[in-house]
Amino acid sequence: MATTTNMKAWTTLYTLLFLFLFSSHASSDSTCDATPYPAFCRTTLPPQYLSTHDHQCRYFLQQSLSTTKTISQLISSYLRNQYTIPYSTVHALEDCLNLAQLNADFLSNVLQVIENNITMTSYQVHDLQTLLSATLTNQQTCIDGFNEVTPYPLVTSALSSPLSDGTKLYSISLALFTRGWVSNVTESSTTVETILNRKLLQTSVDDVVVTQKVVVNPDGSGDFSTINDAVSAAPNNTGTNNGYHVIYVAAGVYNEYVSIPKSKENLMILGDGINRTVVTGNRSVVDGWTTFQSATFAVVGKGFVAVNITFRNTAGASKYQAVAVRNGADMSTFYNCSFEGYQDTLYVHSLRQFYKSCDIYGTVDFIFGNAAVVLQDCNMYPRLPMQNQFNAITAQGRTDPNQNTGISIHNCNIIAASELGDGTSNYNGIETYLGRPWKEYSRSVYMQCFMDGVVDPKGWSEWSGDFALSTLYYAEFANWGPGSDTSNRVTWEGYHLIDEKDADDFTVDKFIQGHKWLPNTGVPFRARLQ
């Protein structure tokens, strides 16, 4: 009798164990099938983390952070012995280290918020999705940098596996976060104020909270004679809720390569106007820089604002990639500024950005990157490229379907630069397209824009064969002018003519949550379509 009882008990135990293992396996399959890398997910996720979705997401975030630190350590070891490495490869390693350090900060921030908040507001959810999207962007930028320089097998082979694992871990973390938090977020029903007629900032800061104001003037009459000196002296880690440190840059041409690091938050730089205050440089990929490092002006510090300044890269069309501004600063704003270059003029690298009443000049992919960015009331000026080149206004770099990134162009003007000619001269025979897919999930939207005849009737151009044509998202809504006729547009699966409801998703309010942070800048903006 006791033997029979024991057998029944063991049978029950085995049944429960089988059901647990089966349900765990099913849970693992269900979780991982919802990610871009299901096989890697299944082999990485241990059974003890299968109890809840929250635990699964935390586990992959922790693994992401661990791998990021490994990447940083490995790159640092190579940079300590950089005299044995080609100069261009050193540039790529410097980019990767910089970006890995940012990723470690982003992942730590996400983990901290998730562990301390049982419930999150919709704005907190958007914040974390933005940071997780940026980790993938940073990783891809590192990889792209190695593709631009002369291969150095010792370095590239050693970094190949951790970089690949990092990309997969970041992607899975983003997918699980999107499934668990973003898909369940409930937007506030509070009506968003549309701000249309706020006083122009000019060089006054009456509309914003200012903690300190300094002056840059090359004639020696100000606090500093260079922009870099003023930036270096600005306070560190002030946060973004304590007012702006304002740097007024007097009229003049500044031959400087300016970098606003992560530690310089809520920095505002005011110039004397377009073509009066000019920051200029001429770095390019042809001259040995990575695209990332070719920027004349680069910013990472959160809450950055620039007003009334021209940014130039004068390398010229023949030097290929040559960036005027690279922006990787969250909640950053450029107002009444000009960006001048040829290929890759404005690098909207990552995080959330807003451009208002700006002029952008360029040829190939001259607005590119993987930020969540809205350009509003701006002018895009396609100019004369090299022989056998065509113009592409955007080259958006979204690599993952869960990234909340894209280029939204709202109420802007697309007009041929004077050097390109006009319709009567057939624009020198140069084709100009609204965009082309730099990466697999490229996303660009034009809404309520004027397009002159410089825009090719086809509208959009391929990158290479049929790459990304079914996975990209390109859309147009209520545009006007001779180049806006959509009757001969591309017929790709990823191209759309959208209605007002869909277009509203790409407004300042919904796409970059601008109604939450733009009022602090003093810059006017339109929160929705109307």
Does residue 248 contact residue 308 with C-beta atoms inside 8 Å? no
Give the amino acid at 142. Answer: C
Average pLDDT over residues 462-472: 97
pLDDT at 471 over 90: yes
Q: 95: pLDDT confidence band, cut at 50, 70 and 90?
A: very high
- 365 labelled catalytic: yes
Phi-psi region of 409 (alpha: psi -120 to 50; beta: other; left: phi over 0): beta
pLDDT at 103: 98
Inter-CA distances, 402 with 60, 258, 443, 472, 516, Å: 16, 33, 12, 13, 23
Q: Sheet containing 367-369: give its strands across.
A: 258-260, 297-299, 325-327, 346-348, 367-369, 391-396, 432-435
pLDDT at 186: 54
pLDDT in tens, 221-234: 999 999 999 999 99
Inter-CA distances, 519 with 25, 241, 265, 378, Å: 49, 12, 17, 19
Q: Sheet containing 352-356: give its strands across.
A: 210-216, 244-249, 267-270, 305-307, 332-335, 352-356, 372-376, 406-410, 443-447, 473-477, 495-497
Q: What is the CA radius of gyration of the chain?
A: 25
pLDDT in tens, 339-350: 999 999 999 999
User: What's the token pair of residue 150?
Assistant: 């002369």
Average pLDDT over residues 419-425: 87
Q: Angle at which helices 122-148 and 87-116 pack, to 10 degrees? A: 160
pLDDT at 201 over 60: no
User: What's the token pair of residue 188?
Assistant: 């506030």
pLDDT in tens, 223-279: 999 999 999 999 999 887 889 999 999 999 999 999 999 999 999 999 999 999 999
User: What's the token pair of residue 463?
Assistant: 């990158």
SS (H, E, C) 50-77: CCCHHHHHHHHHHHHHHHHHHHHHHHHH
Average pLDDT over residues 484-488: 97
Query: Which of these ranges, 137-151, 323-337, 513-527, has the smallest mean pLDDT?
Result: 137-151
Share of the chain above pLDDT 70, in %: 89
Q: Which of 330, 359, 365, 456 is catalytic?
A: 365
Query: Which of these ranges, 56-70, 71-85, 249-263, 367-381, has the smallest mean pLDDT?
Result: 71-85
pLDDT at 206: 58
pLDDT in tens, 270-305: 999 999 999 999 999 999 999 999 999 999 999 999
CA 521 to chain centre: 20
pLDDT at 9 over 60: no
pLDDT at 190: 37
Q: 439: pLDDT confidence band, cut at 50, 70 and 90?
A: very high
pLDDT at 27 over 80: no
pLDDT in tens, 122-144: 889 999 999 999 999 999 999 99
- Residues 227 and 216: their CA atoms lie apart, in Å, by 6
Looking only at the bridges linking them, the beta strands covering 495-497 and 258-260 are: unpaired
Q: Which residue has the higher pLDDT, 527 or 24?
A: 527
Query: Which of these ranges, 11-15, 197-201, 216-220, 265-269, has the smallest mean pLDDT?
Result: 197-201
pLDDT at 400 over 80: yes
pLDDT at 50: 61
User: Quick one: CA torsion of 202, 235, 132, 135, rounded to 10 degrees?
Assistant: 100
pLDDT at 118: 66
Phi and psi, residue 134, nearest 5°: -70, -30
Does residue 426 contact residue 467 with C-beta atoms inside 8 Å? no
Q: 181: pLDDT confidence band, cut at 50, 70 and 90?
A: confident
Closest to 92 (Cα-Cα) out of 156, 136, 171, 164: 156
The reported pTM is 0.92
